[in-house]
Amino acid sequence: MKNRIKELRTKYNLTQEELARKVGVRRETILFLEAGRYNPSLNLAHNVAKTLKTTIDELFHFQDNK
Amino acid sequence: MLNKLRFFLLIIIFVLIITMFLLWTSMDVLKSGLNTSSIVMFIATAILVIFAIYAIRKVRTSLKRGDPLKDERTRKIEMRASAFSFYISIYWLLALGFSIDYFKLEIPPSSVPGLGILGMAIFLGFSYWFFSKKGE
């Protein structure tokens, strides 16, 4: 699953640490999210999208597993 | 506040475990001199001390940065690592029992549970490290 977290985080001048604090997770979780190595829960995805002033659909690019 | 409480609880648990291991090893050495099991116990204690220092430093850094000690990713890792290490531990205990019988190892029966628990702890630590690096 690809995402635009890094792009939007940079746009809003947020560090990984700041974003992590805003959404209430550890910095490493943001690092893994950005690298596409962690699939967040719906709740975390919503919080990240809200913090980055976007929607889950805009933030995450889901790929069909067919 | 809860994080600080967890931090102090972690220190207390480590101190208790290490003290228990040291007492156990010392009693073993005093009773039957320096043998294989006491050397194994010394190594186990050393590993525990290193792990305790690493864990306490990591938690302290997190507390200083104001990070939560746990989040949904670390909880998932904990669950996966626990399940995996439990599965592997069964084979570890079987292998330990088999090795003692087959190789006629001179390990006192009182040390066998300790070795079993030590192996389980090492597998848990290794699994946690593996799953935290692997990602999804």
Among the partner-chain residues A20, A35, A44, the one whose CB lies closest to the CB of B67 is: A20
Does the beta carbon of A26 lie under 8 angstroms from any beta carbon of chain B? yes
Lowest-confidence region among A10-24, B61-75, B106-120: B106-120
| Higher pLDDT pick, B3 / B103 | B103
Q: Which of B120, B60, B134 is nearest to A38 (CA)?
A: B134
- Chain B residues whose CB is inside 8 A of the A38 CB are 73, 135-136
DSSP string, B58-127: HHHHHHHHT--S--HHHHHHHHHHHHHHHHHHHHHHHHHHHHHHHTT----TTHHHHHHHHHHHHHHHHH
pLDDT tens digit sequence for B43-74: 878 888 888 898 889 888 888 888 888 899 99
Q: Which of B45, B59, B47, B44 is nearest to B10 (CA)?
A: B59
- Chain A residues whose CB is inside 8 A of the B66 CB are 21
| Phi-psi group of A61: left, alpha or beta (phi > 0 → left; psi -120 to 50 → alpha; rest → beta) | beta
Query: What pLDDT is stored for residue B108 in this prediction?
Result: 77
- Banded pLDDT at B40 (limits 50, 70, 90): confident
Cα separation, B55 vs B58, whole angstroms: 5
- Chain A residues whose CB is inside 8 A of the B73 CB are 25-26, 28-29, 32, 38
Residue B104 above 90 pLDDT?
A: no
Cα separation, B85 vs B79, whole angstroms: 10
Query: What pLDDT is stored for residue A10 in this prediction?
Result: 95
Phi and psi at residue A49, in whole multiples of 5°? -60, -40
Residue B81 above 90 pLDDT?
A: yes
Please state, in angstroms and as integers, the Cα–Cα distance from residue A58 to each residue in A12, A63, B23, B68, following that order: 16, 13, 59, 27
The position carrying tokens 């995402």 is A3
Q: Which two tokens stand for residue B7?
A: 């931090």
Query: What pLDDT is stored for residue A65 in this prediction?
Result: 63
The verdict on a CB contact (< 8 Å) between A25 and B66 is: no
Residue B37 above 80 pLDDT?
A: no
Query: What pLDDT is stored for residue B127 in this prediction?
Result: 93
pLDDT tens digit sequence for B1-31: 677 888 889 899 989 988 988 888 888 788 8
